[in-house]
Structure 1
Amino acid sequence: MEGRMNMSEFWKNINTYYKRYGLHATIVRIMDKLTGQSRVDYMTWYQKTKPTKQVLKIQRETTFPYMPEILVIVLENKSGSHRLADSLKNQTYSRWKLCKTRELNDVVEILKEAKEEYVLITQPEDELSADAFFQCVKSLNADRTIEAIYSDDDIIKNETEYEEPAIKPDLNLDMLRSCNYIHNFLLVKKKLCQELFEECLESWNGQIDWKYDFIFRCIEEKHSIHHIAKVLYHRNVEHVQVCDEQERKAIDMHLKRMNIKGNVEKTEYRGVYRVRYTMEETPLISIVIPNKDHVEDLKKCIDSLEKKSSYDNREYIIVENNSTEEQTFAYYKELESKCPRAKVVYWKEKGFNYPKINNYGVRYAKGEYILFLNNDTEIQNPDCLEEMLIHCSRPEVGAVGARLFYEDGTIQHVGVIVGLGGIAGHPYATEAEETLGHMGRVHMIQDLSAVTAACMMVKKTVFFEVGKFEPEYAVAFNDVDLCMKIRKAGYLIVYTPYARLTHYESKSRGLEDSREKVKRFDSEVALFEERWGKELEKGDPNYNPNFRLDEKDFRLNVHVRR
């Protein structure tokens, strides 16, 4: 009986998968399951997806309209390695020149004499993929405004193998302030490179990581930086001494140049840093909590804020949504009498519509910042509200999300990936609390495309600027849609792992187990696809096309072809 139930569930899942991804993807999915290839080790993935000999041959024969020359400056050391030089000989794009020097101080003079248009400064132990420069020039031909290019990379394990891939997002300000994820491969326009070296060389006196500082200076001037989502570079970390303090200082100096007040701290994770922005004011936070009965959940939520929160300037707006139990209204009366910061407002329209209920609640909000909070949540750390507010109060940020856990301690939310699971999904959901995530992303502040409204702080001005929650998404995707509108308006969506809450939502919640629910869900899927189809097709810039969209753990997609 158990076997039959499993097969029934299997075919049900396959049918759902077919509806979302189509026939071809479904066949691939079934084959993956049958052959055990849904998860592959990195070298298997790399060998399957790297360009074939035939592709490399075609690249060598390709002529671009724009054929810039590339200067490769190798900072030699005592290793005696020729790995980088050997990899240059294999390049399918041939318009490059190699220049060697032992001193960083010599780079300025080299650049003054150079005729090449783009520069790569690297080290002899590293290695370029055969198509590295070809892919860069291909990107430059597609967009001539590009001034700097970085790619995905990995670490050299031995003569023939690589490991620890860094499959990166597009330019991500807050992630860059958390770690140097761009690493060694940064192809830069010569004019920009020369200007920065002439300006900054004296400050790179061994007390600061010059590569990290160089990257920050590129983004500070709003230069066009392009990410190629391909592994084009292999790093040799054996000969590199990365100093945490030098990296920390690079972030600190970046903040100072940007006139941003804050402290940069090392974390328990090597190479991951935490920026604590300075908050000089304590604005009012309006916490909007929809509720229908479930008094024990609501009480636990309010009690956690009252007993744990160290941020005092807050108000609660409980949006009562057609409760029927007497104890619910008795609790409202008790709460308002004992807690001056609490106010109950009554939503009387029948039927559940999350956007309408929350939009209604915001009418009564007096604060500059709105925290949308589910009634079945409980804050874990006293400075939970501060950790969200320090980011939401930044002028470039529109909304902030937190790290949420299920009651058993497993991950419920560490951000939302647009396109994951078809429309949008939670990476690492149900994974263990200590899960690091790819490149440690679970534990670092970063920009994402969306966060859940189970706990989401938004500037009230931004909320109204983008048109509030969209009522047509009665149950699903309303928070993702709001975040997409906020990003389209030019603001960042920030995820912080340092605001932690328990979300008592059931792991099985959300199953579309009736014809009416299925119809409603399908209509909301169709609406999202209609409004954000181009974004879905392009892919989430904070994810990477090398990852699967049908798995939640940043799993490599073996069916991607370079």
Structure 2
Amino acid sequence: MEGRMNMSEFWKNINTYYKRYGLHATIVRIMDKLTGQSRVDYMTWYQKTKPTKQVLKIQRETTFPYMPEILVIVLENKSGSHRLADSLKNQTYSRWKLCKTRELNDVVEILKEAKEEYVLITQPEDELSADAFFQCVKSLNADRTIEAIYSDDDIIKNETEYEEPAIKPDLNLDMLRSCNYIHNFLLVKKKLCQELFEECLESWNGQIDWKYDFIFRCIEEKHSIHHIAKVLYHRNVEHVQVCDEQERKAIDMHLKRMNIKGNVEKTEYRGIYRVRYTMEETPLISIVIPNKDHVEDLKKCIDSLEKKSSYDNREYIIVENNSTEEQTFAYYKELESKCPRAKVVYWKEKGFNYPKINNYGVRYAKGEYILFLNNDTEIQNPDCLEEMLIHCSRPEVGAVGARLFYEDGTIQHVGVIVGLGGIAGHPYATEAEETLGHMGRVHMIQDLSAVTAACMMVKKTVFFEVGKFEPEYAVAFNDVDLCMKIRKAGYLIVYTPYARLTHYESKSRGLEDSREKVKRFDSEVALFEERWGKELEKGDPNYNPNFRLDEKDFRLNVHVRR
């Protein structure tokens, strides 16, 4: 973290990256830093990573065991463009057919007569990459259960250049409810496409974004949707008028079909929406706060909750961890006498073990929901707890994380990316508060692979179902490990930017600057790699292999494989 990281932290990060990715990748990382190649503009990246003429030649000569025919339906408009049609001629996979129409109503009849197995409905001024259909068919041969495919894309700048890439995660329910990140390229099994058009055409009456609605209907029936992490589509936005209200209604109708109560609101960021789920009950939240001395920090944390929080049904479980200062115990006594919702419990073991301390605190929790909270945090907004609870109370969600800021207002946490920096890291750490992030992700509700336990709400039933915190991770990666277990059990991890806190990080514990601490950290790295090696190798599904793992700002990776 520039501006915050001492040399000990820097070499620890280099060491972690080396142990995870090896000597060659570490040397490449250092050389990129020295030569300024760690950051490239999009067109430079695109030219370096797109398939070469030789690769395209090999693709044209490739025969797959499964060779489906693809129907491309172009909804013509006044643009008069032939860009899409021209790009079809360059496809390395040749089993496609083009059909043009001016009316959406004609699509049903076209689908009824079509013999092709997959369908792409698009517009004439967009463009397909030469390998678009090849990559789709390659994926279909690897997994015949796939029913729909989307890819990364960008925007056409002029005849030869592209800009504003959308480098996407795999299917992300909460991100899709925040914005239409899938856009125009969705190759769908013809049978599914026909069923949805016959069912829904009448409801697409100009009051709703039909493409967005179509995507939602695909996921509602649990159809298998696959993401190809390659830029296969170029969008022309010059002739497209995106109507915020039509998109908002698409999200709203999706919620209604799913029998989910809530309101969909526009935000200050165009194309990004906020779902406010209806909370019909006010269950007890047990806030577990480990503490060792640092009374001023703890007092600030409790005071912020007492003075600001609008959610009343909460309790505090302060887990005392080997404090030595008299004022600490005096504060405990004062707190319990003046604040009926506060209870201090005493963890008797020596040393610092975050999982054991928090697992011990949960024993005393009476609430259905546990909020693990560092003692060096302060809530910023009164509805902070409600914002986390409305997501955590959803049946499909296991844990929820918040947006955390350093004392100077810069970003400390907007989620965790597994594999970043070697094991796991915080994207956009130390960036300015107003940072949008790639595709605006800093400011949208979304699913992630992990969130920090500095402020993490978990269903108590789920916490026990997955086996609680793992004591072998005494300090590092215990929260990431817990989130990985929760995801493996089938639950979502949600990040909400609407729960905001200040986090005075590392005041309680200090830096990893002793030989003993480095040894302990290395053992925790090794343990995480042993348990989650396959997941690290596969990559975080809520990130993208086109991004670097040694930079925190969703930076494009020029070394990505073609």
TM-score, shorter chain, exceeding 0.5:
yes
Given that 1:119 and 1:189 are in contact with CA atoms closer than 8 Å, whether structure 2 keeps it comes out as yes
Structure 2: gaps spanning 5 or more residues: none
**Which sits farther off after the overlay, 2-11 or 245-254?**
2-11
Measure how far apart 1:501 and its partner are.
0.2
Residues 8 and 513, structure 2, Cα contact 8 Å, conserved in 1: no
Q: Are 2:73 and 2:121, in contact at CA under 8 Å, matched by a contact in 1?
A: yes
Q: Name the SS for the 2:4 alignment partner.
A: helix
The structure-2 alpha-carbon separation of the partners of 1:115 and 1:433, relative to structure 1 and needing over 3 Å to count, comes to: same
Pairs within 5 Å for 1:74-89 = 74-89=74-89
Aligned pair in 2 of structure 1 residues 332, 176: CA closer, same or farther (>3 Å)? Answer: same
What displacement does 1:16 show?
Answer: 5.4
CA offsets 1:105-131 (integer angstroms, 9 cap, x no match) = 000000000000000000000000000
How big is the shift at 1:13? 6.4
The offset of 1:20, in angstroms, is: 3.7
Deviation of 1:380 after TM superposition, in Å, equals 0.1
Contact kept, 8 Å, 2:376 with 2:508, in 1: the verdict is no
Residue 178 and residue 64 in structure 1: after superposition, are their counterparts in 2 closer, same or farther (change >3 A)? same
Change in 2 beyond 3 A, CA 1:4/1:258 = closer
Change (3 A) 1:515 1:441: same
**Alpha-carbon contact 2:399-2:458 (below 8 Å) kept:** yes
Residues 31-60 of structure 1: per-residue CA shift (max 9 Å, x gap): 212321110000000000000000000000
CA contact (8 A) 2:175 2:446 kept: yes
Q: How many residues are aligned here?
A: 562
CA gap 1:539/1:17 in 2 versus in 1, 3 angstroms: closer
Distance 2:493 2:29 in 1: 32
CA 1:292/1:308 → structure 2, altered by over 3 Å: closer, same or farther? same
Task: Give deviations 1:282-331, integer Å, cap 9, x for gaps.
Answer: 00000000000000000000000000000000000000001000000000
* CA deviation profile, 1:388-430 (whole Å, cap 9, x unmatched): 0000000000000000000000000000000001000000000
* Cα displacement (A) at 1:21: 2.4
Tell me if the contact between 2:171 and 2:225 (Cα under 8 Å) persists in the aligned partners.
Answer: yes
Query: Could you report, residue by residue, the CA deviation over 1:434-483 in whole angstroms, capped at 9, with x for unpaired residues?
Result: 00000000000000000000000000000000000000000000000000
Q: 1:369 — aligned with what?
A: 369
1:506 Cα deviation after fit = 4.6
Alignment RMSD (CA, Å): 2.2
Listed one character per residue, the Cα deviations across residues 269-292 of structure 1 (whole Å, up to 9, x for unaligned) are 000000000000000000000000
> Can you list the C-alpha shifts for 1:115-159, whole angstroms capped at 9, x where unaligned?
000000000000000000000000000000000000000000000
Q: Is the 8 A contact 1:288 1:362 kept in 2?
A: yes
Structure 2 CA distance for partners of 1:265 and 1:6, relative to 1, 3 Å: closer
Alignment check: 8 A CA contact 2:84 2:125 kept: yes
Moved more, 27-36 or 153-162: 27-36
**What is the deviation of 1:505?**
1.1
Give the corresponding residue for 2:351: 351
CA–CA separation in structure 1 for the residues paired with 2:95 and 2:216: 28
Which stretch of structure 1 is more off in the superposition, 12-21 or 430-439?
12-21
Q: 1:517 to 1:543 in 2, by over 3 A?
A: same
Contact 1:51/1:561 (8 A) holds in 2: no
User: 1:10 Cα deviation (Å)?
Assistant: 7.8
3-state DSSP class of the match of 2:249?
helix
Q: Contact (CA 8 Å) 2:152, 2:231: kept in 1 or not?
A: yes
- Secondary structure, in 3 states, of the residue corresponding to 1:140? helix
Kindly tell me: are residues 272 and 5 of structure 1, through their superposed partners in 2, closer, same or farther at Cα, counting changes over 3 Å? Answer: closer
Q: Kindly state the Cα deviation for residue 22 of structure 1 after the two structures are TM-superposed.
A: 1.2
Query: Does the 8 Å CA contact 2:292/2:508 hold for their aligned counterparts?
Result: no
Find the aligned partners of 2:490 and 2:9 in 1 and give their Cα distance. Answer: 43
Distance 1:10 1:74, change over 3 A: same
Q: Aligned partners of 2:149 and 2:19: how far apart in 1?
A: 37
The aligned runs of 1:97-116 (5 Å cut-off) are: 97-116=97-116
Provide closer, same or farther for how the CA distance between residues 293 and 185 of structure 1 changes in structure 2, counting only shifts above 3 A.
same
Q: Secondary structure at the match of 1:274?
A: strand
In the alignment, the residues of structure 2 paired with residue 226 and residue 415 of structure 1 have an alpha-carbon distance, to the nearest angstrom, of 23
Q: Compared with structure 1, are the counterparts of its residues 45 and 197 closer, same or farther at alpha carbon in structure 2 (3 Å cutoff)?
A: same
Q: Aligned to 1:4, what secondary structure does the other structure show?
A: coil
Q: 1:378 and 1:30 mapped to 2: Cα distance?
A: 37
State, as a whole percentage, how many aligned pairs show the same letter.
Answer: 100
Q: CA 1:10/1:320 → structure 2, altered by over 3 Å: closer, same or farther? A: closer
Q: Cα distance, 1:3 vs. partner? A: 17
Q: 1:524 to 1:14 in 2, by over 3 A?
A: closer
SS at the partner of 1:509? coil
Give a deviation string over 1:252-284, Cα, whole Å, max 9, x none.
Answer: 000000000000000000000000000000000
Give the CA deviation at 1:8: 10
Deviation at 1:561, TM superposition (A): 2.5
Residues of 2 paired with 1:315 and 1:508: CA distance? 22
Partner Cα separation in structure 2 for residue 143 and residue 391 of structure 1: 32
What secondary structure does 2:5 align onto?
Answer: helix
Assess if the C-alpha contact under 8 Å between 1:548 and 1:556 holds in 2: yes
Q: How far apart are residue 7 of structure 1 and its match? A: 10
> Helix, strand or coil for the counterpart of 1:401?
strand
| Separation in structure 2 between the aligned mates of residue 405 and residue 382 of structure 1, nearest angstrom | 16
Per the alignment, residue 220 of structure 2 pairs with 220
For the residues of structure 2 that align with 1:248 and 1:493, how far apart are their CA atoms?
A: 24
User: What secondary structure sits across from 1:22 in the alignment?
Assistant: helix
CA contact (8 A) 1:487 1:493 kept: yes
